[in-house]
Structure 1
Amino acid sequence: MIFTLAFKSLWFEKLVSFCIFASLCSVIAPLMFLFSLKYGIISTLEHDLKSSPLKLEIKMMTGYKLDENFINQVKNDSKVQFCLPLTRSLSATADINYKGKIKTSLSALPTESGDPIAKASNLDGVLKENEAYLSQTLCDDLKIKTGDTFLLVISRIVDSKRQNSVVEFTLKGIIKKEYQSINTIYVNYNTMLYMEDFRDGYEPPVFSNGSNLNHERKYFAKLRLYVKTLDDVEPMAAFFRERNYQIKACINEIEELK
């Protein structure tokens, strides 16, 4: 009975009812659109930040003398999910020869189990000393695929003569281009150390006969470092800045989101 009378009342004054209904829609609809747009954009930004391991990286911009105590302090920090020491940048370069196609002066990075970039590319980060991952852009240039072998070449000067070490490597996986935009080689951590040792005049495994090893390594130049969450970026960046290390991190993007 009540609903019937209400409907008849609305129908009797249908023009007024329509105007009231239209006015409510004209107010509520834009508000609903604005709120959905606002929170949709925020959710998208939050997802993009959280889904990319690049946003969790603390990158050291120049080379330093980092000793074992400092490196262990960083590794044991509860905010850190992945940390590997890096050698001098010039030492961690190599050339690649694949079926006569040559790429020179490529940067090499170490990887191991737990590497967030490898995990994002559906790889486990576990490599033998003569295995490597290559960035997708590099693979596209070389037309190389997982399972193929290629020649990795590093050089040094001895008695004013150039010496090359040419080693066959196997491609174990490809790093997606959204996580590594430049031509890069990912190698076993020991392999990266051997690259520097070879250039420093030692005779390490992989690139030489292993007859003269480097037992005097005390310092590293940088760290390859990723924190656990977006909230850990700022405090970890502050940790380095307090010690006068020049670093790069996605702090502004995270603050804008917050």
Structure 2
Amino acid sequence: MALRDLIHDRKVALCIIFSLIAVIAPLLLLFGLKNGIVSQLRHQLLDDPRTREVRMTGNGNYDFAWLDKLARRSEVGFSIPLTRSLNTQADLVRDGQHFVPGAEVIPTAKGDPLLQDVRAPVKDSDTVLSASAARRLGVQTGDILRLMVSRKSEGKNQRATFALTVTGVLDDAKFSRQGAFITLPLLVALEDYRDGFQVPLLGVSDGKPFRERTRYSRARIYASSIDDVSLLARWLETQNIEAITQSAQIESVRAIDRVLGIIFGVIAWISASGCIASLVGAFIANIDRKRKDMAVLRLLGFRRRSVTLFIIIQALCLTGVSYGLGVIIYLLGSALFNHVLGSSLPDQAFVCHLDPLHFIAALLCVLAVALGVAAIGALRALKIEPAESLREI
């Protein structure tokens, strides 16, 4: 009966549906833009491990206990000791025409955020090259090159050579400089060699007796998430260690999120208030228009519960149809936004996006508003007495 009544009064029903669509569709598009832009920015930040890097400035003197304490902190996603900054360079040579003088040598291990797409070096003779270094050397995965390091000992210039096998090439987006990722023992061997010690790993028996490494100058650190970067930097400050982070870039994304959240909140509340007021007025006007029909139904034996269900069913039907049409309009609008505004963005980027959970939450909110409005209309309908129908005869 409720559905037949809506079909009979289809003009009024369509007016209510259009008024709901006019609120639902813009709100979905607005929230989709907010969610899409902020999510895309956060996605780019998360995809770029450099955003989570916390660089210790200067050279210190840290023992294993302190480095282990650092690695165990919940804010730290990856950390590995570093030698002095002057000892993080070496020459990479393939032949007389292909070489990279003074390339960066970076210690790495399993779990390195920069090497998520390539296999990290396992043996000391393994290395992962940056794309720029690989192009300069003309090598690819599986090729062999030489790592050369020089020193001056007892007035003599000496040079050590170590063969490396390329196990992977890192994309420019992850590391744009010319460098090689190597194991920590090999990096320590390079520093010991420059300091004039004997280095069994490099096959060097000249110099001061071999020393066991107990302290390091710095650490290469990455936070667990972008939200942990500032926490980790503050903890390092309590240890009297200055650190360089991408906090400004991270904070800019948070600021955009806050601003868009405020804008969306204000517009949403204004739109929702207007929608509720419009629905209340439409339902009350519709009930007042059907007072005689309601009175006849009561006279025919309809109980109060039946009248209430009659109104609630109509409210849910009108809201469900409005929401469905609003979602269709949103999908068309979001496709247009993504095509026009997203044409200048990288592949798989979006500017307007909602997850399935967002659609479910929006539907529940719309239905809750409809039930609230229907309850107000039902209370007014329950005040209609059956005798009113007799007075009209």
Residue of structure 1 equivalent to 2:88? 92
Trace 1:171-250 onto structure 2 (pairs within 5 A): 171-210=166-205, 213-215=209-211, 217-250=213-246
Number of aligned residue pairs: 252
Q: In structure 2, how many angstroms separate the alpha carbons of the residues matched to 1:232 and 1:8?
A: 60
One-letter identity of the residue aligned with 1:236 = L
Return closer, same or farther for 1:210/1:129 CA change in 2, 3 Å cut-off: farther
With 76-85 and 163-172 compared, the bigger mean Cα shift is at: 76-85
- C-alpha displacement of 1:4: 6.7
Residue of structure 2 equivalent to 1:38? 34
Q: In structure 2, how many angstroms separate the alpha carbons of the residues matched to 1:134 and 1:104?
A: 14
Trace 1:1-258 onto structure 2 (pairs within 5 A): 28-99=24-95, 100-118=97-115, 120-123=116-119, 125-210=120-205, 213-215=209-211, 217-255=213-251, 256-257=253-254
Contact 2:100 2:136 in 1 (8 A): no
- C-alpha displacement of 1:205: 2.3
Render the CA deviation track for 1:118-160: whole Å, top value 9, x for unaligned. 2x2232x243122211111211222210000111111112234
With 108-117 and 44-53 compared, the bigger mean Cα shift is at: 44-53
One-letter identity of the residue aligned with 2:58 = T
Contact 2:93 2:145 in 1 (8 A): yes
Q: In structure 2, how many angstroms separate the alpha carbons of the residues matched to 1:8 and 1:108?
A: 79
Q: In structure 2, how many angstroms separate the alpha carbons of the residues matched to 1:91 and 1:214?
A: 18
Render the CA deviation track for 1:148-198: whole Å, top value 9, x for unaligned. 011111111223432221222111111222221111111111100000011
One-letter identity of the residue aligned with 2:247 = I
Q: In structure 1, how many angstroms separate the alpha carbons of the residues matched to 2:248 and 2:2?
A: 59
Q: In structure 1, how many angstroms separate the alpha carbons of the residues matched to 2:117 and 2:18?
A: 52
One-letter identity of the residue aligned with 2:107 = P
Q: In structure 1, how many angstroms separate the alpha carbons of the residues matched to 2:210 and 2:173?
A: 36
Contact 1:94 1:106 in 2 (8 A): yes
Where in structure 1 are there 5+ consecutive unaligned residues?
none
Identical-residue share of aligned pairs (%): 28
Return closer, same or farther for 1:2/1:66 CA change in 2, 3 Å cut-off: closer
Contact 2:121 2:128 in 1 (8 A): no
Q: In structure 2, how many angstroms separate the alpha carbons of the residues matched to 1:9 and 1:160?
A: 103
Task: Give the TM-score, by structure 1 length.
Answer: 0.84
2:85 partner SS = coil
Contact 1:130 1:206 in 2 (8 A): no
1:206 partner SS = helix
Render the CA deviation track for 1:29-62: whole Å, top value 9, x for unaligned. 4433222111111221222233333232211122
With 207-216 and 72-81 compared, the bigger mean Cα shift is at: 207-216
1:81 partner SS = strand
Where in structure 2 are there 5+ consecutive unaligned residues?
258-393
Render the CA deviation track for 1:179-226: whole Å, top value 9, x for unaligned. 211111111111000000110111202333356554254432210112
Contact 1:87 1:220 in 2 (8 A): yes
Name whichever structure is richer in strand by fraction: 1
2:169 partner SS = strand
Return closer, same or farther for 1:160/1:215 CA change in 2, 3 Å cut-off: closer
2:134 partner SS = helix
Task: Give the TM-score, by structure 2 length.
Answer: 0.57
Contact 1:121 1:174 in 2 (8 A): no
* Bigger radius of gyration: 2
Q: In structure 2, how many angstroms separate the alpha carbons of the residues matched to 1:216 and 1:253?
A: 41
Contact 2:130 2:172 in 1 (8 A): yes
RMSD: 2.7
2:142 partner SS = coil
Name whichever structure is richer in helix by fraction: 2
